[in-house]
Amino acid sequence: MALHQAILAKNDRLAERNRGYFKAKGLLVLNVLSSPGSGKTAFIERTVADLGDRLRAGVIAGDLETDNDAKRLREHGIPTVQITTGNVCHLEAEMVARAMEKIPLDGLDVLVIENVGNLVCPASYDLGEDLRVVLLSVTEGEDKPLKYPVMFRTAQVVVVNKMDIAEAVGFDREAALRNIRRTSPEATILEVSAKTGDGMEMWYHYLEHAVRHKRSASTNRP
Amino acid sequence: MALHQAILAKNDRLAERNRGYFKAKGLLVLNVLSSPGSGKTAFIERTVADLGDRLRAGVIAGDLETDNDAKRLREHGIPTVQITTGNVCHLEAEMVARAMEKIPLDGLDVLVIENVGNLVCPASYDLGEDLRVVLLSVTEGEDKPLKYPVMFRTAQVVVVNKMDIAEAVGFDREAALRNIRRTSPEATILEVSAKTGDGMEMWYHYLEHAVRHKRSASTNRP
């Protein structure tokens, strides 16, 4: 436990260093989290592709083993760096610090960090992000927020994905929203389908507003 | 004690945020420390004036009450922000974060932070600097490093100032260097007179080298 605390303290310090670095670059940084299969990569792909020139985005994609996600993103011409964590079930601030040296950040407005597919381990690791975005899909069960309270409590945005199949899988929307509201009372809740694009425009408006807000707080931007 | 620890932990986090910010700006940052009367301001004034276009410097000057130091520096055309700490005997990372928003950092190579004149309180407060520069003058007694071991142990550079009057005040150079070496075995020791300029050229070379080193470590500089 003492060792775990020391690792977290070190991570927190490096996360603050990242936060300062991102602030100086005037970048809005997202830490995107979900279980495997919630459609994280599809959601990010659609976001960066749709944003196009409205907001220029780069991606740091974390995965246990493969770099398939990064390949898919690069096909869209998105600056992407892959972090393969091996047997580590979360990204750490230090991994992000190394990865961000490999992306030309100065041309970007948003940096999206796709965390490892997991709702437990990544919860305690600050990466220096501005916003934690937690995805859950309509196939996952409405009680997910109650099962992963730490993750949902620390999220600024909760995205309910795959709304296009909500009816087909018997998704209980009222119960899900009630549970999200209980664990994440302050969070912005978005209902989308990354596949069809439904609901995504509200997400883009949210991002544009957040980028403007970040910029105005960073007077020393180059 | 618990409160003091908590304040330090918060300061450490903010200092890391400053460190990341400075890194993104490609800035070399100095935290300059000494007792009152060691010639800190004269040393900084001479440094920024002599460097001129070799290295462009800005200054954050901390003082308990007055802004005389900042006025003197501004007369040289140096971008300067004054922090008056009131009854606080050291600068904190948060004060520096607020002050640096008021300087156009993008045109600068070096940011010099002149700490409050004190060799005890500032020792435990990381500001996010790259280098701690501790000054002592030949009038202060050769045992100063032994009296303020924390400050001298954490310094990367120790400057012995007012060498022009060393003989007149009976400065025991051998004893002083021995004591500095004992408390700061890794530090670079410089013997200078900020008044006559003797020894300052070596300091400028040191700074130029440190700036190049910092730049090469910051690939994402604008």
Say whether B22 and A20 touch across the interface (CB within 8 A).
yes
Q: Which amino acid is at B168?
A: A
**Chain B positions in Cβ-Cβ contact with residue A105 (cut-off 8 Å):** 220
Name the helix (H) or strand (E) containing B203.
Answer: helix B200-216
Per-residue pLDDT of chain B (222 residues; tens, 9 = 90+): 466 777 778 999 999 999 999 999 999 999 999 998 899 999 999 999 999 889 999 999 998 777 777 887 888 788 999 998 888 889 999 999 999 999 999 989 999 999 999 989 899 999 999 999 999 999 998 999 999 999 999 999 999 999 999 999 999 999 999 999 999 999 999 999 999 999 999 999 999 999 999 888 765 544
**Chain A positions in Cβ-Cβ contact with residue B23 (cut-off 8 Å):** 17, 20-21, 24
Per-residue burial over A80-90, b = 16 or more CB atoms within 10 Å of its CB, e = otherwise: bbbbebeeeeb
Residue A13: what are its φ and ψ, rounded to 5°? -65, -45
Contact indicator for B98, B134 with CB cutoff of 8 Å: no
* Cα distance between residue B92 and residue B73, in whole Å: 22
- Chain A interface includes B20 (CB < 8 A): yes
Say whether B16 and A21 touch across the interface (CB within 8 A).
no
Say whether A19 and B17 touch across the interface (CB within 8 A).
yes
- Chain B interface includes A14 (CB < 8 A): yes
Q: Count the neighbouring beta carbons within 10 Å of the beta carbon of residue A196.
A: 13
**Chain A positions in Cβ-Cβ contact with residue B13 (cut-off 8 Å):** 12-13, 16
Q: Which two tokens stand for residue A143?
A: 């009680």
Task: For B43-63, write each residue's pLDDT tens digit.
Answer: 999 999 999 889 999 999 998
Name the helix (H) or strand (E) containing B68.
Answer: helix B68-75
* Cα distance between residue B40 and residue A22, in whole Å: 33
Q: Which of B105, B128, B219 has the CB atom closest to A220's CB atom? A: B105
Contact indicator for B152, B180 with CB cutoff of 8 Å: yes
| CA distances from residue B173 to A200, B167, B169, B196, B208 in whole angstroms, order as listed | 71, 9, 11, 19, 27
Residue B125 buriedness (CB in 10 A; 0-12 / 13-18 / 19+): buried
The ipTM, to two decimals, is 0.70
Instruction: Specify the pTM.
Output: 0.82
Nearest-neighbour CA in chain A from B176: distance (Å): 36
